[in-house]
């Protein structure tokens, strides 16, 4: 891989910064505090992105927070690189969390978007994760010793040492088997952990569980027996309550019948009272009907009018009779006077000897008067006869009217009315009728009420039942006592039933507990066998691992020794004496001094950095045999003196012919 160009819009304190890389040796000489480590972090971020640290994570462990732009603005930039003969441009921007990040990869020549690599760009280019990159191609200041193997480096080394994919995962298999072994039985046998200990504990727990289930089953049987006894007591109490309820119901029925009978008798008495009142209002006469009242009033009124008319007609006829009598007397007087005059005239004529003419005149006058009186007398007689006939008819009609009045009067008398005047009789009749009608309606209402009650209640219900010896209060007290007993029995039954049910539910797990115990016994035996197999397999794999690790260790150690030889070639006697260095398969370093291998901690920091630097270069040579990566050196030689620094610079400049090196340094003396 070859870096070509980068641009930083904002990243930490760096702002609007660009850098063009050349092949081989690239030096970035800047003063302390300029941001060299920030520049190195930017290059790593372009390849691997920025991990998110929690809010409580330390600043050095939270690069997303640590490298927030100081001046604000867009957070990120781009990097142009070459890989496998093609140039690419990767652009990244960063947010407060990884989900807010953006990633874009384009072909640097065509500027078209490329899908050949994803956001896992560093891993896809180097086959190493972020941590493995920091332990190989990245040489940080004062952290050269951080070169231990991790899973990513082991995987990479395994693939290099052998093309067989299965063999490249020996370390993973060993770790998995060792973890599996520890799951069965931890290294510290006193710890009550591990699958075998857990199964043993579970087996003991299952035995205890089974014993508890058996005990609970026995307890449940005892509770069920108690439940049966309580159920019998409750059944007896229920019968007692039913009997008391029946007796109370019978007593209540009899009380209701008695009350009904009393009410019926009251209805009968009320009916008799109303009937007697009606009869008393009638007395010895019959009941007055409304049509009778109307008819008698009408007849009485008509007879009164007719009688008045007849009486008036009689009075008129009487007056006329008196007039006729007076007129008769007057006619008689006049006739007598005329007769006397005629006699006197005749006598005078005779006596005085009147002539024949006066005699004749006198005779004629007498004759005329006689004729007039004769005619008047006849007319008078006829008038008297007609008047007499009318009087007779009127008297007859009046007699008939009197008879009818008498008949109506007798009818009033039959109804107990003896008023002298018609208006009085009618008023008395109407009052008597209204009184009888009111009493009759009251009587009919009382009778209807009695009849309706009889229709609604059978004659059996109307018979008076015999009173029981027990009183309602006694029955109520007995019923209350039985209810309290039943309530207590129901409570005890509920508690007993619930407890029995709970115990039975738990006891039902006896079969499950027994099966669980058998299963645990079988699983424990099986796990013991599996543990033995895992231990044996792990032993075999560890033996194979030593052989497998030797395949890449030989190349790694050879390269390491070459770098150490180049570093110490021509050095003074002190360095020559310490040149023997040993590197094991876990990248643990030791230096042989005075015939004895010693840990690096026995030597100076500068010596340690030189040895670790050689080991890093050897590890890069071993890991990247096909396409060389770039090396990122973040001022790693601050602990070297002038002699060791010159040796280290010669070594790194010599490596610039093989690798592209980005050397970040703050002082010209380390160039």
What's the domain count of the chain? Answer: 1
Closest CA to 46 of 157, 125, 126, 121: 121
Residue 394 lies in a domain: yes
Q: Is 391 exposed, middle or buried (0-12, 13-18, 19+ CB in 10 A)?
A: middle
pLDDT at position 600 is 66
Rg of the chain taking only CA atoms, in angstroms: 76
Write the DSSP string, 385-405.
HHHHHHHHHHHHHHHHHHHHH
Residue 343 lies in a domain: yes
Closest CA to 42 of 146, 153, 138: 138
Instruction: Report DSSP state, residue 183.
Output: H
Q: Is 386 exposed, middle or buried (0-12, 13-18, 19+ CB in 10 A)?
A: exposed
pLDDT at position 467 is 47
Closest CA to 605 of 551, 548, 570, 644: 644
Tokens 């007896």 identify what position?
Answer: 236
On whether the CB atoms of residues 153 and 134 are closer than 8 A, the answer is no
Residue 348 lies in a domain: yes
pLDDT at position 369 is 61
Residue 356 lies in a domain: yes
Residue 446 lies in a domain: no
Expressed as residue numbers, the domain containing 329 is 314-404
Residue 272 lies in a domain: no
pTM score, whole prediction: 0.45
C-alpha distance from residue 472 to each of 29, 205, 257, 467 (Å): 117, 63, 15, 11
- Rounded CA separation 267/622 (Å): 127
- pLDDT tens per residue across span 497-527: 888 888 888 778 878 888 888 888 888 888 8
pLDDT at position 8 is 95
The side-by-side arrangement of strands in the sheet containing 581-583 is 581-583, 589-593, 596-599
SS3 content of the chain, % helix, strand, coil (to 5): 65, 10, 25
pLDDT at position 18 is 94
The two counts, helices (H) then strands (E), for the chain are 15, 12
Closest CA to 360 of 347, 346, 373: 346
Ranges in the chain, pLDDT < 70: 53-57, 142-171, 187-192, 282-293, 296, 300-303, 307, 331, 349-380, 402, 405-406, 408-427, 429, 458-470, 542, 544-553, 568-598, 600-601, 625-626, 671
Supply angle C-alpha 339, 342, 345, rounded to 5.
150
- Rounded CA separation 615/583 (Å): 8
Closest CA to 449 of 613, 326, 275: 275
Residue 380 lies in a domain: yes
Residue 396 lies in a domain: yes
- pLDDT tens per residue across span 179-213: 777 777 776 655 557 778 888 888 888 888 888 88
């Amino acid at each position: 891989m070859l870096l070509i160009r980068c641009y930083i819009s904002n990243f930490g304190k760096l702002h609007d910064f660009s850098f063009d890389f050349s092949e081989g040796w690239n030096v970035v000489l800047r003063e302390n505090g300029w941001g060299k480590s920030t520049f190195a972090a930017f290059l790593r971020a372009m390849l691997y992105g920025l991990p998110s640290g929690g809010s409580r994570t330390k600043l050095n462990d939270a690069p997303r927070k640590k490298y927030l732009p100081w001046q604000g603005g867009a957070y990120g930039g781009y990097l142009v690189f070459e890989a496998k003969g093609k140039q690419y441009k990767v652009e990244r921007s960063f947010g407060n969390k990884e989900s807010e990040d953006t990633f874009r990869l384009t072909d640097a020549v065509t500027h078209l978007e490329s899908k050949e690599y994803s956001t896992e760009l560093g891993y896809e280019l180097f086959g190493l994760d972020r941590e493995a990159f920091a332990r190989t191609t990245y040489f940080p200041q004062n952290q050269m010793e951080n070169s231990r193997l991790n899973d990513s480096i082991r995987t990479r080394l395994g693939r290099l040492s052998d093309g067989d994919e299965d063999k490249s995962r020996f370390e993973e298999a060993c770790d998995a088997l060792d973890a599996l072994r520890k799951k069965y039985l931890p290294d510290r046998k006193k710890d009550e952990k591990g699958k075998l200990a857990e199964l043993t504990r579970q087996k003991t727990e299952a035995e205890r569980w089974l014993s508890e289930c058996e005990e609970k089953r026995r307890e449940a049987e005892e509770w069920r027996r108690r439940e049966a006894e309580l159920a019998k007591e409750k059944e007896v109490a229920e019968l007692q309550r039913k009997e008391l309820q029946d007796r109370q119901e019978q007593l209540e029925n009899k009380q209701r019948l008695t009350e009904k009978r009393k009410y019926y008798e009251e209805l009968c008495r009320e009916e008799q009272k109303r009937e007697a009142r009606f009869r008393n209002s009638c007395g010895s006469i019959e009941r007055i009907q409304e049509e009778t009242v109307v008819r008698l009033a009408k007849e009485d009124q008509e007879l009164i009018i007719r009688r008045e008319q007849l009486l008036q007609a009689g009075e008129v006829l009487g007056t006329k009779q008196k007039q006729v009598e007076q007129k008769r007397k007057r006619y008689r007087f006049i006739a007598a006077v005329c007769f006397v005059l005629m006699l006197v005239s005749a006598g005078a004529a005779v006596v005085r000897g009147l002539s024949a003419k006066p005699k004749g005149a006198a005779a004629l006058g007498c004759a005329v008067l006689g004729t007039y009186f004769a005619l008047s007398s006849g007319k008078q007689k006829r008038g008297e006869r007609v008047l007499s006939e009318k009087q007779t008819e009127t008297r007859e009609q009046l007699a008939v009217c009197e008879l009818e009045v008498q008949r109506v009067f007798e009818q009033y008398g039959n109804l107990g009315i003896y008023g002298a005047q018609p208006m009085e009789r009618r008023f008395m009749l109407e009052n008597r009728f209204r009184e009888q009608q009111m009493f009759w309606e009251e009587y009919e209402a009382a009778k209807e009420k009695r009849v309706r009650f009889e229709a609604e209640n059978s004659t059996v219900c109307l018979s008076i039942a015999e009173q029981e010896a027990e009183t309602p209060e006694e029955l109520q007290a007995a019923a209350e006592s039985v209810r309290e007993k039943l309530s207590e029995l129901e409570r005890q039954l509920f508690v007993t039933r619930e407890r029995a049910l709970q115990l039975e539910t738990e006891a039902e797990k006896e079969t499950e507990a027994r099966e669980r115990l058998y299963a645990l016994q079988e699983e424990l035996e099986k796990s013991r066998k599996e543990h033995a197999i895992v231990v044996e397999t792990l032993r075999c794999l560890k033996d194979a691992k030593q052989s497998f690790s030797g395949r890449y260790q030989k190349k790694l150690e050879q390269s390491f020794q070459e770098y150490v030889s180049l570093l110490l070639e021509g050095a003074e006697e002190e360095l020559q004496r310490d040149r023997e260095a040993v590197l094991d398969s876990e990248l643990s370093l030791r230096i042989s001094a005075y015939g004895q291998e010693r840990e690096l901690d026995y030597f100076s920091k500068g010596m340690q950095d030189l040895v670790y630097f050689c080991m890093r270069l050897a590890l890069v040579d071993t890991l990247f045999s096909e396409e060389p990566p770039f090396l990122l050196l973040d001022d790693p030689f601050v602990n070297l003196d002038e002699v060791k620094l010159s040796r280290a610079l010669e070594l790194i400049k010599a490596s610039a012919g093989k690798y592209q090196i980005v050397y970040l340094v703050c002082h010209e003396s380390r160039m």
